[in-house]
Amino acid sequence: MPDDRKADFETATDIHQAQSNLYRRLSANIYKTSVPNQYYHTHGSLDATPILNGLSLPGFLPEPLPSYHEICSIIQAETQKHTPQALDDLTVSLNQSGCIVYKPNDFLATPQGRALATEPLITCTALETTSPPAPFPEPEAPSSSKPTIPPSPSSSPHPHLLSGLKVLDLTRVIAGPSITRTLAEHGCSVIKVTSPYLPDVPYYQLDLNLGKHTVDLDLRRSCPTDRTKFESLLSTVDIVVDGYRTGAMERLGYGPKDLVERFKALGRMKGFVYVRENCFGFSGPMRERSGWQPIADAVSGLAWGHGAALGLDEPVLPPFPMSDYGTGEMGACAALAGLVKRAQEGGSWELGVSLTRWNLWVMGLGAYPEEVWGSLLERHRPWIGKWEVGHLSNFDVVSKAAIEGMRELEIREGYGKGRFFGENGERFMFEVQGEGFGEPGVVKSCRPVVRLSGVGSGWRGTTRPNGWDGAEWW
């Protein structure tokens, strides 16, 4: 029987048309300022109206919308009336996301850069030390009634090392959800909790909700019924992953120290792991500001580095959300580190990862030699020119230029030895019937990247939109 809940998921969580309206989408971009050769990355986050109004622009333009470059010109005409610092002051006053686009050394000279340079790649703090050691549950192998997705290549599937562990996913967009997607891949039961009144990016849910259950709960203090359901889930949780602005969960009464007191009052004797993911890190004056991957790329100097690599004297966002996924994998490692400490030492542990700190680590690994990058640049110049790649190129544009170039070069010169596109590339992918995404509802995703001898990987369930399931462990 068809599920009558199947709705247009593309609009269900894009509440403020942050993705579906090009004008509002381009509120997030790198723009010139009144200071020559200095740029600012405005960001409408998931509701562009505040920053657009702050720039004396309307929240919406009448249909039909102008072209991409016409919209950029409209917004840039306003940003060029202000210095980078004035735009940053505006951003802070509006409680929005945004940043000055620094060169790498310039960022390291700022108070935030100096703070992050001494911050560990993964922060780790004991929340309490009285809970006894909690060993890992006995690993469980998939069964015929609960097969993995994609199916195991072995006739006797190996156990998933994290089976039996419960994870509450309090995240949105990419970095946070990729932490929990990885934990689900290795056996964790993951429930993603979102608010029905907060927006999310719809199309990321296709892949990043894989292997999870999802539930909408309003955690505001004025909603006791939903808070009771959430607290029931909390009572047996092993890992909480928090991707919201620093302090958001504390204001709701569910920050890590709040949980210590809650579990103590309940007489719970098992510790827990609390993983935070944010943009700017956990020290320095910007630690409580909101931010997303492009903000981290812009503030850290990565965008200027990418622009220089393209032979341009301007910052350019890199193609693909690399720091999002990199920070996500680092966050999964942080969760594992917390579980090991809980098993060996007992107690409860708070760990933190951030997009900007990950960028500093990556840039600290060094750049490719000029002869290596120079060769790549010459081969990709046709697509850089075709797509007019520059500071006004958002992810949509830069990613299209990169993918089109890679695809054409693979055909033309065996770039990548024919491994990534066409029929050969299909071996890296699998298809699954997603729930709630309309017809035909087939989602294609990347297979598990790492295979370990004697260890299973893969997801215990298909993917679904936010808010699809009930508030109960599965």
Identify the CA nearest to 17 among candidates 139, 148, 199, 251: 199
Number of neighbouring beta carbons within 10 Å of residue 371:
7
**DSSP E strands, 252-324:** 273-278
77, two tokens: 């005409």
Could you tell me whether strands 348-354 and 123-128 are parallel, antiparallel, or unpaired per DSSP bridges?
antiparallel
Helix axes 322-345, 293-300, angle to 10 degrees: 100
Which residue type occupies 362?
V
pTM above 0.85, yes or no: yes
Polymer length in residues for the chain = 474
Number of neighbouring beta carbons within 10 Å of residue 419:
13
> In sequence order, which residues have a C-beta less than 8 Å from that of residue 192 and are 6 or more positions away?
169, 171, 177, 180, 209, 212, 213, 214, 215, 466
pLDDT tens for the chain, 474 residues: list them. 334 444 466 667 899 999 999 999 999 999 999 999 999 999 998 999 999 999 999 999 999 999 999 999 999 999 999 999 999 999 999 999 999 999 999 999 999 999 999 999 999 999 999 999 999 999 887 776 677 898 876 656 788 999 999 999 999 999 999 999 999 999 999 999 999 999 999 989 999 999 999 999 999 999 999 999 999 999 999 999 999 998 999 999 999 999 999 999 999 999 999 999 999 999 999 999 999 999 999 999 999 999 999 999 999 999 999 999 999 999 999 999 999 999 999 999 999 999 999 999 999 999 899 899 999 999 999 999 999 999 999 999 999 999 999 999 988 887 666 677 777 778 889 998 888 887 778 899 999 888 888 888 999 889 999 999 999 998
